[in-house]
Amino acid sequence: MDTILVINAGSSDLRFHIYSVEGEGRLRQRLNGRMDGIGRCPRLRANKTGGGPLANRAYPVEAVPDVAAAMDIVGAWLRDELHIHSIAVGHRIIHGGAEHDRPIVIDQEVLACLERLTTLAPFDLPHNLAPIRSILANFPAVLQVACFDTAFHRTHAAVIDHYAIPPASRIPVYVVPSDENLMIARHALTLLMNGSSREPS
């Protein structure tokens, strides 16, 4: 079964969703989970969609000191215990700057560009990028797609971005859609089907 993995990484947790790819490009959520307490009291929790729990495990703090380590543990659990080898990974990224107004396939050049934007969202963006680095290092052939909060509403009028904000402080605002994980999975599947030749992890 082909699947899409969606990752949403923050400073203290890493949330993930697995969607199966069904006929005519339809997606069905199969499970969701999170590694929370990263660097403090790490715990992996996961549930089947509409079903029971799949995992509820505590880890020593030294085993999960950061988001990259959490990604490694979650990825190994998905592959080794659930035998899930996703054909693409979609990432929620808080800020894409002025350059990124739509989902994009991630390579080293894109990653370097995003790293230069960390001053725009210093409490979130470095953590968003940590899983990307981990997957690029360990599974470079897997297609990864960045979906930006700042791109979801780039078609609205400029006054919405600028109202009541001094000119020197103007940066794009963002609004997160209610079903962001499914949207990210759809973008990843679309870019995969449009000619990217990556292999599953």
What amino acid positions are annotated as catalytic residues?
149
Three-state SS at 99: coil
Is residue 133 a contact partner of residue 68, using CB atoms and an 8 Å limit? yes
Is residue 53 a contact partner of residue 66, using CB atoms and an 8 Å limit? no
For the record, the structure tokens of 64 come out as 């999960």
Three-state SS at 63: helix
Bridge-partner residues for 15, per DSSP?
A: 8, 34
CA distance 127 to 201: 22
For the record, the structure tokens of 123 come out as 């409490």
For the record, the structure tokens of 191 come out as 């870019």
